[in-house]
Amino acid sequence: MSLLKLEKLVKDFGGLRAVDEVSFAVEAGDIFGLIGPNGAGKTTVFNLITGNYVPNKGKVIFDGQVLNGLAPNKIVTLGVARTFQTIRLFKALSALENVLAGCHCRMKSGSIAAMLKTPFQKREEKEAIQLALAELDFVGLGDDADTRSDSLSYGNQRLLEIARALATQPKLLILDEPAGGMNEQETDALIEIIARIKARGITVLLIEHDMSLVMQACEKLVVIEYGRKIAEGLPEEIKVNKKVIEAYLGTDDEEEGEACF
Amino acid sequence: MKRNIIYLLLALLLAVSPAFLNAYWVDVLNNVGMYALLALSLNLILGHAGLFHMGHAAFYAVGAYTTAILNTSFDIPVLWTMPLAGLIAGLFALMVARPIIHLRGDYLLIVTIGFVEIVRIALINNVFGITGGANGIFGIDRPYLFGFKIRKPHEFFYLIWGFMAVTVFLFHRLENSRFGRALNFLREDDVAAEGSGINTTYYKLIAFVIGAVWAGMVGTIYAAKMTIIAPESFNFWESVVMFMIVILGGAGSIRGVILGAFLVIGLPEIFRGMGTISDLINSLFSSFGVTLSLDFSNFSKARMLIFGAAMVIMMIFRNAGLLPPLPRKYPLKKIREEMRIREEVRIREEMKIGEEMP
């Protein structure tokens, strides 16, 4: 059974059909790429999976459960974590606290336990900090635990978002343009981190414009254009797919298309 | 560490101050304490969760009236009604906040202003025939604590500031917990907070409820202190003052809010005494043969002007308040060390297993 399955997903914004009967399935353990030209509806698909939008038609099935209509925080608890296309960190808080936000949904003690400082609350708090530090180490930000998140470099802010998402202990990690704004070295480091995430047994679904990253990291790709799926397959197949090249370049010139990848 | 010593000294100074002050100034300190408590409870909602709530006086009123009604009609001792006043204010907050909790920023602000007005007008109209209408309720008993009747200002001083000590202790813990962080996450970015698995609606509501419970309990103290309460004591202006204290002192910062209360409530009283200062200057200059006729005695009338100007200047140059919150401290070194030791133990055990294997 697939970990994540989209069944004929439709999303309308007024008269505009942003996502038009998109279906695909992500197998557990995959690194799955969702690509397409600007405005194709990739992020909308992500927002439908994570519960930020409710689909007009179709189903999102994760781990055998229909996600339609569930609140985003509930979906996170079920095991779907995400990062955002435009970085959305808690700016005034430290890197550690940002990651602790991810730990939140696996913790239990509430306001009264906090006021009484029960032994359980103290232990849980310590364990959460340990977990958060481990995730910071995992993305290579272990030394920046105390740094205010908005004073980190752009690339590191993206990594911090990944650490925050990992701290929710997800089964599926959704990355929305993780390499956006990164330089070449940072992108290489990111590819290596994605491979290590896979090694932890976490399935990865990502949107990316950086084709070198997509071709190196992803094992399977889906291409969408104008809200419709136009191709699906292995990276090598997608690379030479006529429809995809046309979508990206609006031309039949295959040589130019090859150069793009 | 150095900071803690300063706080301790200030607390000690405050604790012995009634011995050196007359009843009037002790009462001023009592007022500062009451507003500081109210502002601390508002601080959870406005400072930590970032919800623009300008209707806090409504919860304060519910608490005060609960105490007044229970005490005058059912003869329940005043301090016994305190938990109940908190509970009813909390339930009231839950009821009125639930339908509007999704509103953001200024929209929420407008609706919460509605809270205060609805409560005030309901009280004036003697709702359910138990609030005494525009005259309010009088004849509320003085509180007894361990058989000791609290009546004079300096006795109330210890009740109010004792409650303050408990509040600061509990709220400090609350701030430095999963709960306090969750409020900050939703203040910083509620989409990202939800995307990180935080139930933002729940936390916004709980912030309202805890804030209201505390405001309700302060209402009990108010009713006991005044022995007479009327709807006009809980008007919109009260909410504005609490709001002002939090923003001026430092949203999300306990020490900032207390400083804010001293400035907003205490300063006008000091301004009132400005007449003596101008007399002093006049007499000083006249001894040198210079005739001045300064008169600062009307200075207190200009206090709103000064406050207004101070707020504007603050918002431009120091928009996080006078004493903004400090970053939370975590015992990272200690926890790192523990992690390292655990890792070493793990490796050693693995090696042991490796040795036993062949």
Mean pLDDT score, B165-189: 94
Give the angle A29-A35-A40 at the CA atoms, nearest 5°.
135
For chain A positions 125-154, those within 8 Å of chain B (CB to CB) are 125-126, 128-130, 133-134, 145-146, 148
B174 Cα to chain A: minimum distance (Å): 5
Residue A146: inside a domain, yes or no? Answer: yes
HSE-CB for A223 with a 13 A CA cutoff: 25
pLDDT of residue B260: 92
Are residues A207 and A227 both part of a single domain?
Answer: yes
Express as a percent the part of chain B with pLDDT over 90.
53
State pLDDT tens for residues B39-90. Answer: 999 999 999 999 999 999 999 999 999 999 999 999 899 899 999 999 999 9
Residues A150 and A31 in one domain: no
What pLDDT score was predicted for residue B58?
A: 95
- A104 & A232 share domain: no
Lowest pLDDT segment from A102-116, B182-196, B217-231, B278-292:
B278-292
For residues A104 and A145, membership in a common domain is answered with yes
Q: Which of A1, A50, A71, A10 is nearest to A207 (CA)?
A: A50
User: Residue A243 belongs to a domain with what CATH number?
Assistant: 3.40.50.300
Q: Is residue A182 part of a domain?
A: yes
Q: Where are the alpha helices (DSSP H) in B44-80?
A: 56-74
**A95 shares a domain with A51:** no
- Find, among A97, A259, A66, the residue nearest to A167 by Cα: A97
B113: pLDDT strictly greater than 70? yes
> Mind telling me how many Å the CA of A104 is from chain B's nearest CA?
7
Domains in chain A: how many in total?
A: 2
pLDDT digits (tens, 9 = 90+) for B204-213: 999 999 999 9
Residue A251's pLDDT band, with cuts at 50, 70 and 90, is: low
How does pLDDT run across A74-99, given as a tens digit for each residue?
Answer: 999 999 999 999 999 999 999 999 99
Round to whole Å and give the CA distance between A3 and A203. 8
Residues A130 and A234 in one domain: no
Q: Is B193 on the interface with A (CB under 8 A)?
A: yes
| pLDDT score of A257 | 46
Calculate how close chain A gets to B15, using CA atoms only, in Å.
24
Q: Mark whether A255 and A181 lie in a shared domain.
A: yes
Whole-angstrom Cα distance, residue A172 to residue A4?
8
Q: Which residues of B touch A81 (CB under 8 A)?
A: 196-197
* Residue in B173, B177, B189 to test binding to A, most A beta-carbons within 10 Å: B177
Q: Sort out which chain A residues have CB atoms less than 8 A from B193's CB and list them.
A: 90, 101
User: Which tens digit of pLDDT belongs to each residue from A13-52?
Assistant: 988 999 999 999 999 999 999 998 888 889 999 999 999 9
State percent of chain B over pLDDT 70.
Answer: 97
Interchain contact, B174 vs A111, CB within 8 Å: yes
Residue at which a domain ends, from A115, A148, A169:
A169
Answer whether residue A64 is part of any domain: yes
Q: Is A164 on the interface with B (CB under 8 A)?
A: yes
Residue B343 touches partner A, C-beta closer than 8 Å: no
- Between residues 217 and 256 of chain A, which touch chain B (CB distance below 8 Å)? none
A131 & A259 share domain? no
Percent of chain A with pLDDT over 90: 70
Q: Which of B208-212, B293-297, B299-303 has the lowest mean pLDDT?
A: B299-303
One domain for residues A234 and A130: no
Question: Closest partner residue to B339 among A88, A107, A133, by Cβ?
Answer: A133
Residues A182 and A259 reside in one and the same domain: yes
Residue B325 DSSP one-character state: P
The position carrying tokens 């608890």 is A77
A146 and A208 in one domain?
no
Structure tokens at A123: 């232990």
Quick one: tokens of B274? 């400005």
- Please tell me which of A215-219, B182-186, B284-288 the model is most confident about, judged by mean pLDDT: B182-186
Residue at which a domain ends, from A169, A202, A237: A169
Confidence of residue B20 (pLDDT cuts 50, 70, 90): confident
Same domain? A102 vs A118: yes
User: What pLDDT sits at residue A259?
Assistant: 47
Residue A85 in any domain: the answer is no
- Parent domain of A58: 1-79+171-261
Distance from CA of B251 to the nearest CA of A (A): 13
Confidence of residue A252 (pLDDT cuts 50, 70, 90): low
